[in-house]
Structure 1
Amino acid sequence: MNMDAATLWTLLLIFVRITTFMVTAPLFSGRQIPSQYKIGFSAVLSILCVGMVKEPIPSLDESIIIVLILKEFLVGIVLGMVGNILLYAVQMAGSLMDVLIGFSMASLFDPTFGTSSQLTGRMQNALALLVLLATDGHHLLIEGILTSFDWIPIQASVPAFTDGSLASFLLDCVQQMFLIGFMMAAPIIGTLFLVDVALGIIARTVPQMNLFAVFPPLKIMIHFFIYIFILPSFFYLLKILFENMFGSMYSILKIMGV
């Protein structure tokens, strides 16, 4: 392949889209993956994709090239952010549980999102990533960014950035994230709420009892018992979450496609 100016500019634009996707997409954006590996993997995918582009860009003015680079930057971020928004439901559910248990006082650094998360949220996030890897979800993520070049050519404009349809869809994704997160946490939250009511009644009727010595271990024991009992439903909700995540990526390609 002759590396003329058109091919070099095409390679640059493809590299920008894939790289921005890698730094925002689920699993690949985690800080446990070194930046050198992300850049190297993006470069390899970009070189492989150059031959897939049907119409390499011709020689253009610098101003137009800058606009195209900005467009590819936004496309890659939006595609990766859609998947990450929905996956954040897993960590949000764990954080809601930990508030009622008391685990929120102990926080761990989450390398996937780059923030501090509670114990249950960190564990659920690890389980979700393991399930994503076990079901070849990372292959589907790579396939999604490669397919985006068929839906959104590198020379095409993206009207969805200005007509409001993209913003509305991202708000719908946030709504789905909260809905699935609350569904994951609802059994634990409901059970612990009833436990708090029962323990409050006991505290009023038996004031001699040492509340701080009895209640926290009891709530933790009930939490783990209920959590083990509802663990199969967690994996079922993960299945729904991943289906919505990949479906949302396909929908966002249709919205931004030309």
Structure 2
Amino acid sequence: MLEELLKLNVFAFFLIFARVGAVFMLLPGFSSDYVKPMMRLAVALGLSLMLMPFLMNSLPGMPETATGLGILLIGEVIVGGFLGLVARVMTAALQTAGTLIALFSSLANALIQDPITNQQSSILASFMGTIGMTLLFITDLHHLMIRGIGESYTLFVPGQPLPLADFSALVARRVADSFTLGVQLASPFIVTSMIYYIGLGILGRLMQALPVFFVAMPLQIGGQLMLLSLSLTTIFMYFLTRYEDNLIHMLEP
């Protein structure tokens, strides 16, 4: 009896860990390279242990064959990867916005190593991504992401067929929404840059001896940085609101 109970508990723990671990491999903030793998593993194991008493009744019985067990675990990894990927895609809106702002501020060639994406990106894209990730934790939105892992068991019941078509459609829609949000966040800079370029074109035609690029570059950089300082609060408030709404909407039955 004790051996059977122990086997059931071990199976339940690793079944939960398969989903939770896959989420933490992609979850924004937790999946970054600056988070040590052992720390990420410890958090995933601890969360799996905490969720186990609440999810025992919703878990299927242990399959009798190794093939059935493998299929069940792979399904949980797919669900976890899907949840983490959707959350990660939504944060890419800040990278898109930062890249567009840098492009229209003539700072696109000012590149640094981005600590969030662990790749080379413009300094403004890295700046936006770092602040956005910090605000996700300051405003406790990471609690919403973690709570969503537990609530996902009512939406994606272990052992049930996976809605792969719905997964693909939702990921595609979230990628489109993320790009749209990035363009919306950068829209003030796009509009002001277009007006500025039109004005420079007219000025260049009226004063052909004027060194347009020599005069325009400092004014463009200074003006866009001033606009960034004025709109930064609004940009991140709008991003956090959209991010929270998307997380809640994703886990609605």
Task: Give TM-score, length-normalised by structure 2.
Answer: 0.90
Amino acid at match of 1:197: I
Query: How big is the shift at 1:165?
Result: 2.2
CA distance in 2, matches of 1:223, 1:237: 19
Per the TM alignment, residue 125 of structure 1 is displaced from its structure 2 partner at its CA by 1.3
1:82 touches 1:248 (CA, 8 Å); kept in 2?
A: no
Tell me the CA shift for residue 56 of structure 1: 5.6
Whole-angstrom CA distance in 2 between matches of 1:208 and 1:153:
71
Query: In 1, distance between residues paired with 2:237 and 2:139?
Result: 13
Secondary structure of the corresponding residue to residue 124 of structure 2:
helix
The question of 1:42 aligning with 2:40 is answered no
- What's the CA shift string for 1:183-230, capped at 9, x where partnerless? 100000110111122223323333433344322211111101212222
Report the 3-state secondary structure (helix = DSSP H, G, I; strand = E; otherwise coil) of the residue aligned with 2:27: coil
Moved over 6 A (4+): none
1:149 is the counterpart of 2:114: no
Deviations 1:218-253 (A, max 9, x none): 1111101212222232133123322233124314xx
**1:79 matched residue in structure 2:** 83
**Aligned partner of residue 121 in structure 2, secondary structure:** strand
- Alignment of structure 1 residues 180-219 onto 2, 5 Å: 180-219=181-220
Q: Which residue of 2 aligns with 1:220?
A: 221
Match of 1:245 in 2: 246
% identical aligned pairs: 22
Stretch deviating more after TM superposition (110-119 or 127-136): 110-119
Q: Does 1:124 align with 2:128?
A: yes
Provide the rounded CA distance (Å) in 1 between the counterparts of 2:176 and 2:245. 12
The alignment partner of 1:105 has SS state of coil
1:90 to 76, 94, 97: 94
CA deviation map 1:21-44 (0-9, x unaligned): 011112212222111111111111
Contact 2:29 2:133 in 1 (8 A): yes
Unaligned runs of 5+ in 1: none
CA RMSD after TM alignment = 2.0
- Conservation of the 8 A alpha-carbon contact between 2:155 and 2:251: no
Q: CA deviation at 1:181?
A: 1.0
Per-residue displacement from partner, 1:84-114 (whole Å, max 9, x unpaired)?
1111111101101111222111222223223
Q: How does 1:64-75 map to 2 (within 5 A)?
A: 64-75=68-79
Q: Which letter maps to 1:172? A: R
Q: Please give the alpha-carbon distance, in whole angstroms, between the structure 2 residues aligned to 1:87 and 1:245.
A: 11
1:15 corresponds to which of 9, 17, 25 = 17
Residue 241 of structure 2 aligns with an amino acid whose one-letter code is I
Indicate conservation of the 8 Å contact 1:30/1:113, yes or no. Answer: yes
TM-score (norm. length: structure 1): 0.88
Q: What is the distance in 1 between the residues matched to 2:177 and 2:168?
A: 14
Return the letter of the residue paired with 1:201. I
